[in-house]
Structures are given as structure tokens and as C-alpha cells.
Structure 1
Amino acid sequence: MSIKRSVNIACPGCGTTQDITLVEVLNAQTDPDLKEDLMHNRLNRVNCSDCDIDFRVDLPLLYTDAKAELMIHWVPENEDANREQILEEFDEVIERMNAEAGEQVPVPNVRLVMTRVELVELIYMMEVGMNQRVVEYVKYSIYTRNQEKLDPERHRMLLNVEDSTDDELVFVMQNVEDQQLGQVLRYGRAAYASLLELFADDPEEFMEMFPGPCISARDVLLEDAE
């Protein structure tokens, strides 16, 4: 089941506070309507009772899909929270979910993301059966081959599953600062298929490069640059 909680929040526009209900754990199987809200940027949105501004509240969200054996923990990027703290928070969310459900829930295929767009990207990716590690390897290759144009510090690369075809994968660059989408990049589906074969024969290189639960080419590149 999905889990919600009530919070008191201040409007970013006028400062008015109001009590709202936010989704904290989203179960895609029991609440497909909430999943649709997430995919279309309607989840956890608030309309200010005073100034009428509409805004989204980004708090940690646990997305679960038992049928797909998938669990994704979205923790919004925060300069004060390092990866260890985020992983600790993930464990706390699991404990809280188990307590409210009244039973121990086995942890399925666990992933960790830092933005809503990465969460939506991953859901689309997993639903069509794509290999996340191979996709991130492709992103890594594109970044490193275009270092003068694609700066991971300023640009996030996203796979557009819906616009991808049988012949090519479509990637779009997002400006990290203003969240605007920009350059579109294409990668041959045949080359992706070849990488899948390499993964099937010897997954160790992919696993070492992207051990999880946060599987991200951009994170690897930023860590290498430090």
C-alpha cells in the first residue's frame, strides 16, 4: 500500500503555512493513479490557499512495484546530505514502511535517484526491460567522447524511452541549474545490443563501474573529477 503523511509547509511565494498531505511511499500496484500523478508531475503538488501559487514539494519518496520487483528511493539533491546519509535515510524509510504495513517486506531490486526526472526515467527504462547499467555505460561513453560540449557538472543526460525507436536510443540533455531540456543525442540500438551481449558474457566491468544502488554515469564522472 502507499503511505501518506500530513505536514505543515510554508508557501515559497508568500510564506503562508498550511497543512497538506504528501505521498511518502508510492505502491504502483495498489495505487496506479498515484503513479500516473508522478509520471505527469502532479504528485505532491500544492496550491497555496492564500496567493494561489502552485508548487511541488520535493521530499524523499519510496517508489515500489512488486510486479516489476523494483524499489526506487528518490532523495532530492541536498548539499548537506552525503551519500552515506542518504543510504541511512533509505534504511529508515524501509523500517517505517515495514512498521506501517505490519509485516517485514523483502527488499527487491533497489535503486537510488536524486531527482524526479531520474526517477521517471528509471521507471520507464525498467518497464520496457532495459538494462540500467548498460544504459549508464552508454551515457558515460557519450560524455567522455564529447567532453568539450557535454559538461556533467552543468548537464544531466536523460534517456527518452518514449521517443526511442527500434533503430536508435534518444537522449536529451538537461541543464542542472534551470532544469531546461536542450540538446538531443542519438545512439544506435545495434550498439546498445552489442553492449548487452558483453554484459551477459562478463558483467563484472559494468558492476564494478556502477555497483549501485545509485547507478549514474554523471556521478561517476563527477567523482573522477574531484
Structure 2
Amino acid sequence: MSLFAPLNIVCRECETLITMDAVGSVNADRRPDFREDILHDSFQDVSCGNCGHALRLQPNFNYLDAGRGQWIAGLPANQVSQYIEVEDGVSLLFDQCYGSKAPKAARDVGDGLDVRLTFGWPAIREKILAREHGLDDVVLEMLKLDLLRRMPEAPLAEGMELRMTSVTEDRLSFAWMETASEAIEQEMSADRVLYDDIAANRDEWSKISARLTDGPFVDIQKIYLGEPRAA
């Protein structure tokens, strides 16, 4: 089931106290509307009843979509610099819920799940969007790296993210986003053929693939966030 708990927050504009339900877990199989809300950037948002100021809670929940084989720990964007420690905690949590430490019925569900860790709304939305269109998120991250090699310059730094925003039959659209505000700084698109070429030649990307998948945080940010996980 999807779980919520009351949370009091203060409006940044008028300091009015706002009470809302903060999500702790989402079961997209039972509540597909929550999945759609995430895809449409409207999940966990609220408007102040006094001044009308809109705000959105940072993600801090677990997302399950057994039908599509996804389990995602969605956490606030400001925790990304500690991703290795967070990965360890997320792996343990999944193990307790659906892995070796879980009851057999839960393990049977867990066998069909890809485990992922994301930071911030654009990242979790991207994972769900990729699965919606049958895209492998590891190949997608490798495509981003390929696109970076083709760009004369890119705002590649902590606090900036390259996220896929939409998919058509022929094109994948991306945006450089400022992590804290989710403001779009630059947009671009890529021919779907580039993704297909990488998917068909994954052996050539084996070292990068191993780096991306050494934990549940499958994201190119880990390439430039410091030292990799110890072997």
C-alpha cells in the first residue's frame, strides 16, 4: 500500500503553518494515479491557503511498481554527495523488504525488481519515464556520457543534472537542470539511433557500465562526485 503521514511545514512567503500528508511509500500498482502525478510533476505539491504560494516537498519515499519491475528509493537532492553511504542503507532496506532477509512471498516479488536510488524529483521522474518507454536506464546514462563527448561545452558540475524529459519514436529530449530549483538551463535532443547503437554494443561500454551499476545509484553524477566505491 501507499503510506502517508501528516507533516507541518511553514510557508516561505507568509510563514503560515501548512499541514499536508507526506508520502513514505508509493505502490504504483495499486495507485497508478500517483505514478502519473510524478510524471506530470504534480506529486507532493501544495499551495498555501493564505497567500497561494506553491511549494513541493523533496522526495523521501520508496516507490514500488512490481508490474514494471521497479523499486526506487527517492531521496532529497541535497543528499547526493553522500551517495555511497546512502546506497549502503538503501541496499540493506531493500534486502530486508524484498531480498534475502525478507519473507518468501516478498522475495518472490523482489526477484523481479530493479533496485534504484535517486536524488530529487527530476531523477525519479526520469527513471519512471524511461521504464514507461522501454528504455534501459544504464544505457540511457551511457548515452548521456556519449552526448557530453559530442558537446563543445557542458555545465557539468555538482548542482546541475542532465535529465531526459520526453520520448518520441525518433527522439529523446533532455534538459540541463539546476538541482535545487529544478530550473531548466539548457535543452537538447538526441536521435534514438544513438541510444540503439549503445544498446547493441554494450561490450564496448563494459567499464562504464560496471561503474554505473556498482550500487543502486545508476547515474552519471557518480562519475564526477569523487572517489568511486572501494573494490
Place the TM-score, normalised by the shorter chain, in its bin.
0.7 to 0.9
With over 3 angstroms needed to count, the CA separation of the structure-2 counterparts of 1:184 and 1:165, relative to structure 1, is farther
2:37 corresponding residue in structure 1: 37
Deviation string, structure 1 residues 98-131 (Cα, Å, up to 9, x no partner) = 8xxx976333211111110111111010121111
Instruction: Specify the alignment match of 2:197 in structure 1.
Output: 194
Task: Give 1:58-137 correspondences, 5 Å limit.
Answer: 58-78=58-78, 82-87=82-87, 89-90=89-90, 105-106=106-107, 107=110, 108-137=113-142
Q: Is the 8 A contact 1:25 1:97 kept in 2?
A: no
Summarize the Cα distance change of 1:161–1:141 in structure 2 as closer, same or farther, 3 Å threshold. Answer: same
1:18–1:160 Cα change, 3 Å: closer
Runs of 4+ in 1 over 4 A off after TM superposition: 91-98
Q: 1:85, CA displacement in angstroms?
A: 4.1
2:151 corresponds to which residue?
A: 146
Question: Structure 1: which amino acid aligns with 2:207?
Answer: E
The superposition leaves residues 20-63 of structure 1 with CA deviations (integer Å, 9 ceiling, x where unpaired) of 21222111110112222222222222232433322111141211
The 1-side partners of 2:129 and 2:13 are apart by 33
Within the alignment, does 1:171 sit opposite 2:174 as a pair? Answer: yes
How far did 1:94 drift?
Answer: 5.2
C-alpha distance in 2 between matches for 1:17 and 1:97: 35
Alignment partners' CA distance in 1, 2:146 and 2:32: 35
Listed one character per residue, the Cα deviations across residues 176-221 of structure 1 (whole Å, up to 9, x for unaligned) are 454322433333322322211122x577434312113111113313
> SS of the residue aligned with 1:78?
helix
Following superposition, the deviation at residue 73 of structure 1 comes to 1.1
Q: Post-superposition shift, 1:154?
A: 5.5
Q: Which amino acid aligns with 2:188?
A: L
Is the partner of 1:219 in helix, strand or coil? Answer: helix
Aligned length: 218
- Equivalent pairs: percent with the same residue? 22
State how far apart, in whole Å, the 2-side matches of 1:149 and 1:209 are: 21
Letter in 2 for 1:23: V
Give the alignment of 1:156-167 within 5 angstroms. Answer: 156-162=161-167, 164-166=168-170
Partner of 1:181: 184
**Which residues of structure 1 form unaligned runs of 5+?**
none
Report the RMSD for the aligned CA atoms in angstroms.
Answer: 3.0
Amino acid at match of 1:114: F
Is the alpha carbon distance of 1:95 and 1:154 closer, same or farther for their aligned partners in structure 2, counting shifts above 3 Å? Answer: closer
TM-score when normalising by structure 1: 0.80
